[in-house]
Amino acid sequence: MKKILLFIALFSAINSFCQTDSTFIRKVYDEALERGEAYENLRSLCKDIGARITGSAEAEMAVKWGEKLLNSYGFDKVYLQEIKVPHWERGTKEAAWVINEKGETYKLDILALGGSIGTNGLISGEVIEVANLEALQQLSENDVKGKVVFISQAFDQKHINTFHAYGGCYPIRGKGTNEAGKLNAKAVVIRSLATPEDDFPHTGTMHYDEGVNKIPGAAMSTKNATMLSAWLKKGKVTLKMEMDCEKFEDVTSYNVIAEMNGKDNKIITWGGHLDSWDVGDGAHDDGAGIVHSIEALRILKKLGYQPNHKLRCVLFMNEENGNMGGKSYAKIASENKEEHICAIESDRGGFLPVGFDINGTEEQVKFVNQHKELLSDFELFRFKKGYGGVDIGPLKEFYPDMIQLGMAINSQIYFNYHHSNNDVFENVNQRELELGAAAMATMIYLMDKSLK
């Protein structure tokens, strides 16, 4: 009888605990959906400031914007963390067109890749097409020298999660220009890393190895790329291109940080990145993650939550072309001998949240999954081993035992907007954005209660 009574008491305690959590999470969602401020904050970031490439005046404005907004909510502490960041400018609008053997011309929609050198005036070269990075690496200098290399690899549309398609194509953007430079090509143009076939070119970072011949690199729209491939099947094509981009000395910028004190000084960090590329509004990438993160802390404070650990919201600077915000944050945390137990990131757009990817051990995956039944009521169901995020990633070097979570979203149209002029505030759904903020606040709450 005593065992039965003990079991009943234990069951009642667990049931009461779950009901308490469920009730609080319901309040989180009610606040986000009925009185949420994420959508208006995103409008302000996108329309009052706009695109915020690292080193720009707009990036500096965004730092001041973030500091002022966080201070307005009355958190326990708001401060700036000084960092050094790269400074690259696109310059005047790029121009490019192609000419076939019949003398027909076609104007291209292109964007310089982030970090590319300029063309130093108008350049011209015969186009040679390669299917992917591996195909380029198999060519000799005789094949490539003096020509414009066109890398035409498209997204593999069979992937259900479009981030997998993006990962498969990433090498043509990150490494293609560098590899063609080794063979003394004149320039590189790639098919944009995007899901749909449309007229929007998509930029993104690339790099040069030390000592490699630096040549210009650009991305063209997917529609242009399909057209160029068709032209090349019929004969010789010449591409003319002019880009005015330039790299400058590193500059000073800041991570923007807000905190709520807990019962101890163990730290749960979360955030998104305040910088964006210099096209569109930087709405999905990563204005959405910024307002998710701010709204999560605002909601917890508004509901009177008393945290067990120190809760720290970080608006990281320079994720797009260097990750100096994330790297500096992790290094400073280690130097200050801080104890970090968890980090969460939102950097996949303002789309419908479906759960969280877990960067951790199998035991940590099981630990997160203990909340799966509770969160199913809020249509969060994906909790599996995966990637946390670029900004929080460097913390793992100093805190290998910590758990990291990346908010997972319905990815089907993310790459319609990513790094393009199409990434504007008008293309963010208010309700999906608010659900993302609620999901962030919920996971922070559960990690704070569960982690010791």
What is the C-alpha to C-alpha distance for residues 61 and 51, in angstroms, rounded to an integer? Answer: 11
Q: Nearest to residue 133, comparing CAs of 196, 167, 177, 195? A: 177
What is the C-alpha to C-alpha distance for residues 206 and 74, in angstroms, rounded to an integer? Answer: 40
Buried/exposed code over 286-319 (b: 16+ C-beta within 10 A; e: otherwise): bbbbbbbbbbbbbbbbbeebebbbbbbbbbbbbb
Pairing of strands 95-100, 267-273: unpaired
User: How far does CA 330 lie from the centroid of its chain?
Assistant: 18
Average pLDDT, the chain: 95
What is the C-alpha to C-alpha distance for residues 165 and 155, in angstroms, rounded to an integer? Answer: 5
pLDDT in tens, 212-235: 999 999 999 999 999 999 999 999
State yes or no: pLDDT of 89 exceeds 50: yes
Domains of the chain, first to last: 25-88+249-450 (3.40.630.10), 91-244 (3.50.30.30)
Dihedral angle over CA of 57, 62, 63, 67, nearest 10: 150
State residue 177's pLDDT score.
98
Token duo for residue 373: 């039944």
The letter for the amino acid at 303 is L
User: How far does CA 380 lie from the centroid of its chain?
Assistant: 21
State yes or no: pLDDT of 290 exceeds 70: yes
φ, ψ for residue 48, nearest 5 deg: -80, -25
What is the C-alpha to C-alpha distance for residues 248 and 89, in angstroms, rounded to an integer? Answer: 8
- pLDDT band, residue 16 (cuts 50/70/90): very low
DSSP 80: E
Of 9-13, 207-211, 315-319, 443-447, give the lowest mean pLDDT range. Answer: 9-13
State yes or no: pLDDT of 88 exceeds 70: yes
The letter for the amino acid at 24 is F
pLDDT in tens, 365-383: 999 999 999 999 999 999 9
Please name the residue ranges forming H helices in 79-161. 133-137, 141-144
Task: Return all residues near 36 (Cβ < 8 A) that are at least 6 apart.
Answer: 295, 434, 437
User: Taking a C-beta distance cutoff of 8 angstroms, is the pair 317, 377 a contact?
Assistant: no
Of 10-24, 161-175, 324-338, 384-398, give the lowest mean pLDDT range. Answer: 10-24
Question: If DSSP codes are grouped into helix, strand and coil, which group holds residue 247?
Answer: strand
Residues in the chain: 452
- pLDDT band, residue 11 (cuts 50/70/90): very low
State residue 12's pLDDT score.
44
What is the C-alpha to C-alpha distance for residues 151 and 129, in angstroms, rounded to an integer? Answer: 6
Dihedral angle over CA of 109, 114, 120, 124, nearest 10: -40
Please name the residue ranges forming H helices in 276-421. 288-302, 324-335, 362-369, 372-376, 395-398
Helices 288-302 and 57-72 meet at what angle, rounded to 10?
A: 10
Question: If DSSP codes are grouped into helix, strand and coil, which group holds residue 123?
Answer: strand
What is the C-alpha to C-alpha distance for residues 163 and 157, in angstroms, rounded to an integer? Answer: 11
State residue 19's pLDDT score.
59
State residue 9's pLDDT score.
42
Q: Nearest to residue 159, comparing CAs of 359, 346, 414? A: 414
CA angle 29, 451, 382 (to 5 degrees): 50
Structure-token match 């990750």, residue found = 323
Q: Report whether the peptide linkage leading into residue 285 is cis, meaning its omega lies within 30 degrees of zero.
A: no
Neighbouring C-alpha atoms within 13 Å toward the C-beta of 397: 15
Structure-token match 């163990």, residue found = 266
Task: Return all residues near 148 (Cβ < 8 A) that are at least 6 apart.
Answer: 125, 126, 127, 128, 185, 186, 187, 188, 189, 239, 241
- pLDDT band, residue 451 (cuts 50/70/90): very high
What sign results for the dihedral spanned by CA atoms 181, 183, 184, 186? Answer: negative
The letter for the amino acid at 391 is D
Task: Answer yes or no: pTM beyond 0.85.
Answer: yes
- pLDDT band, residue 13 (cuts 50/70/90): very low
